Amino acid sequence: MKLHRSRIAVALLSMNLAAPLGCEESHKLADDGDEDATADNGGTDGSDNAMSSGDGDGDGDGDGDGDGVCGDGLVEGDEECDEGEANANDGDCTEACMLPTCGDGFVQPSNGEACDEGAENDDLGSCTSACALPSCGDGFVQPSNGETCDEGDETGSPDSECTPGCLVNECGDGFHGGSEICDDGDENGTETTDCTEACTITVCGDGFAGSSEACDDGNDVEGDGCDNACMLDGCGLVPPEPLFPVAPATLSETGLYADISAKSLASDVREFAPKYALWTDGAIKTRWVSFPECEGLEPAIIDSSDMDAWTMPIGTKLWKEFVVDGKRIETRLEHRFGPNPSDFLFVSYLWDDAETEATLAPLGGVENAKGTDHDIPSVDLCLDCHGNGNAGSGGFPGR
C-alpha cells in the first residue's frame, strides 16, 4: 500500500497531539524533508533559510551582528562608505569603511586636510585641531612656524604690535606698530628720513638732522652754522673753504703747513697743549688747531655750553703729531666739514722716511708703524674714542 508523505505527516502530527512522543519518534519528527538532518525552520521549499547557516543576521559574514563586510563595495550595517578595493586611509573612504575625519590620524585631502596627527592635533602645535598647518594670521601663536605673536585678522594692522610675519614688533624692523610713531627700518636715523633710531619723529634740537631739516646740531646757539630753526647760518650758510668730507691724499693738502719741507705752519694754524696730556708709550705729541673764518661770525663761535663736549665751528681742523725715538711717525687730522653731528672726518697720515711728506694711512690702521712699537689706529678706533657729534673731549683730538 502506498501513502503520500503529507498524509503520513498529518497522521504523525495527530499522534503528537494525542500523546507524548518517545525519543525515537521525536527524532523522526525533526526531519523536514530535505534530507539534511536539521530541524525545519519554516522554509517552504524544503530547504533551511539563512538561519541554518549559523549567521543569524543574513549578511553572510557568519558573525550574526548585522554589519556588512567592509571592502565588498556595499555600504551595509554600520559602514559609512565602501569603495571596495579602492578603500584607502588617505582617500574618500578609509580601510575601515569610515568617511574621512579630522583627528583620525590620516591626512585626507578630500576632507580639506593638510595634516592630521590624530590625538596630537593642537592649535599651538605643528597641526591644528582643524587639520591645518600653522599659518601666520590664524590667531594661534605657533613656535613651530617661527611665530612670537598672532593676533588673527588684526596681525600686521597699524594698531597691532604683531608684524605681518607674526613677530613681536621692534623698532627698526620696518613695521609701524601701534606704539611707534614711525619705523623706516634700516633708514631710521639717517638723513633720508625724519624717523629717528628710536622710532620717533625728529624735532629740531634733538641732534638728528632728518630729511626735513637742513641741519641739527643739538644746541640752541645761534651763529654756529645751524640756527634754532635747524636752518643753516654762519659757517653753515656760507661755509669756509676748503672743506673736505673726503680726506686729501697727503698731509700738505690739509692746510697744516705753509711749507711742509721746512715744517713752517700756515698763518691760521695755532699750536696748543692740554693741561693734562695722556701718556702714549713715550711718544712726543704736538697739537695744532685752525678755526674757520665764516660770514657773520667774528670770531668763529665755539659752543662750550656742555663742557664735556664742545661744538666746533664748521671748517675747524685739528692735528696731532706723534714722534717716536726722534722720528715723525704719524699726524692725525680731525675735521668738521658740515653742520650735522656726524659731519666729522677722522684720518691719519704716515710720514715718509725723509719726513718731507706724509700720505694717507690705511683706514684699517698700521701696526708697528715704521718699525716702531707705535700703532696707527683704524678709523673705527678713532670713532670709538671721539665718536660722532661731539668729536670727543671738547672736539679736540684727545690729549
Residue range 105-136, pLDDT digits in tens: 999 998 999 999 999 998 888 899 899 998 88
**What gap in Å lies between CA 234 and CA 312, rounded to an integer?**
13
pLDDT in tens, 212-221: 888 888 888 7
253 pLDDT band, cuts 50/70/90, is very high
Tell me the pTM. Answer: 0.52
User: pLDDT for 190-224, tens place per residue?
Assistant: 888 999 989 999 999 888 888 888 888 888 877 77
Q: Which of 3-7, 84-88, 157-161, 384-388 has the highest mean pLDDT?
A: 84-88
Residue 109 within any structural domain of the chain: no
Q: What is the pLDDT of residues 307-357, one digit of tens each?
A: 777 778 889 999 999 999 999 999 999 999 988 877 889 999 999 999 999
Is the bond leading into 377 cis (omega within 30 degrees of zero)? no
Instruction: Check residue 40 and give its pLDDT.
Output: 46
Rounded Cα–Cα distance for residues 368 and 386 (Å): 22
Name which of 35-49, 161-175, 347-361 the model is least confident about.
35-49
Q: How many other C-beta atoms lie within 10 A of the C-beta of residue 311?
A: 26
Q: What is the residue range of 351's domain?
A: 251-395
Assess whether pLDDT exceeds 80 at residue 89.
Answer: yes
| Alpha carbon distance 202, 220 (integer Å) | 16
The chain-wide mean pLDDT, for the chain, equals 80
User: Cell digits for 199?
Assistant: 622710532
Name the pLDDT band for 387 (thresholds 50, 70, 90).
low
Q: Are 98 and 90 in contact (CB under 8 A)?
A: no
Q: Is residue 363 part of a domain?
A: yes
| Within a domain: 293 | yes
Overall domain count for the chain: 1
Taking 50 as the threshold, does the pLDDT of residue 47 lie above it? no
Q: Is the pLDDT of residue 17 over 60?
A: no
Residue 339 counted as domain residue: yes
Residue 286 lies in a domain: yes
Instruction: Assess whether pLDDT exceeds 90 at residue 20.
Output: no
Q: Is the pLDDT of residue 59 over 80?
A: no
| 137 CB-side CA count, 13 A | 7
What is the C-alpha separation between 382 and 320, in angstroms, rounded?
13
Burial class (CB in 10 A: 0-12, 13-18, 19+), 238: middle
Q: Name the most confidently modeled range: 61-75, 152-166, 179-193, 345-359.
A: 345-359
pLDDT at 4: 43
Q: What are the distances in angstroms from CA 364 to CA 375, 377, 381?
A: 11, 7, 9
Average pLDDT over residues 90-118: 91
User: Would 203 be classed as within a structural domain?
Assistant: no
> Predicted confidence band at 278 (pLDDT cuts at 50, 70, 90)?
confident
Whether 298 is in a domain gets the answer yes
Higher pLDDT pick, 223 / 7: 223
The backbone torsions φ and ψ at residue 6, rounded to the nearest 5 degrees and listed phi first, read -70, -35
Q: How many CB atoms lie within 10 A of CB 237?
A: 19
The predicted structure's pLDDT at residue 16: 46
Q: Would the pLDDT of 44 be above 90?
A: no
Q: Residue 383: in which H helix or E strand, if any? A: helix 379-386
The DSSP string of 259-300 is: ETTTTEEPTT-EEE--SSPPP-TT-EEEEEEE---BTTBSS-
Report if residue 228 sits inside a domain: no
Among 80-94, 295-309, 344-358, the least confident range: 295-309
